[in-house]
Amino acid sequence: MPALPADFHADLAKKLSFFSHKTGEFLVFLKYSSPKIEMALEIDFRKPDSSSSSRFSLRTRDERYKKREAKVLLEGGILIVALVFGLILRLYAYEGALITSRSMAPTLSRGDYLLIDHRAALRGTWKRGEIVFFNAPASWGLEKQTLVKRIIALPGETVAVFNGVVLVNGQPLKEPYLKPHDADDFFPIRLGQNEYFVMGDNRDFSEDSRDFGPISEKEIRGRIVTRLWPISVIGTVS
């Protein structure tokens, strides 16, 4: 038991209170508090059928515990809501992804951390030139891998590569994001319904639809909207 402060008895007398003083009834309630110790004493000499002051004492303690429990519940509730909200955002709105290859250089570099927008996947709307995050098709032999590439051609279009130039429906595709490269020719193919032709910006070092064929709409998980890391290049990605 901790030692009592030197001024305990003097302070004790000051805090002595008489709540009821009737014939044959006597109640003393004593409470002492300090930064290191808290003591409470209740002496009840009243008749058994009189309990108003006892209820007061119990109510005071109950309220203290209720406030403490309410605080814990509130903090726990806020944490749960935050976790659920974060999970919903991850599943249906946003997700982070780390670039681990050089296939999208110079647009994206190894070590870049990206923000992925899932909302376009819910709408099922994709545009040429968008950089997308997708599950590698089973036919690619890259089971359970996720990749980042750029959409080059859309469903129903014909795509080919000649002398390093991408042709979509026979017309050269403007690609200002590319650096000079020596990509091999690719014979024309026509994309089916819900099929997309994707390629890496680093054409000489990217395995993509030229090697494995188009991807389906259901395999696209989202589009890259922002680079979050490194700090020196934070911003939108296009």
Contacts of residue 115, defined as CB under 8 A and 6 or more positions apart, other chains included, come to: 94, 95, 96, 224, 225, 226, 227, 228
Catalytically annotated residue among 103, 109, 206, 218: 103
Catalytic status, residue 103: yes
Tokens representing residue 68 in the block: 């403490």
Contacts 24+ apart (CB under 8 A), 189-192: 189/158, 189/159, 189/160, 189/214, 190/156, 190/157, 190/158, 191/153, 191/154, 191/155, 191/156, 191/157, 191/158, 191/159, 192/155, 192/156
Determine whether 218 is an active site residue: no
Point out the catalytic residue in the list 149, 174, 179, 209.
149
Which of the residues are catalytic? 103, 149
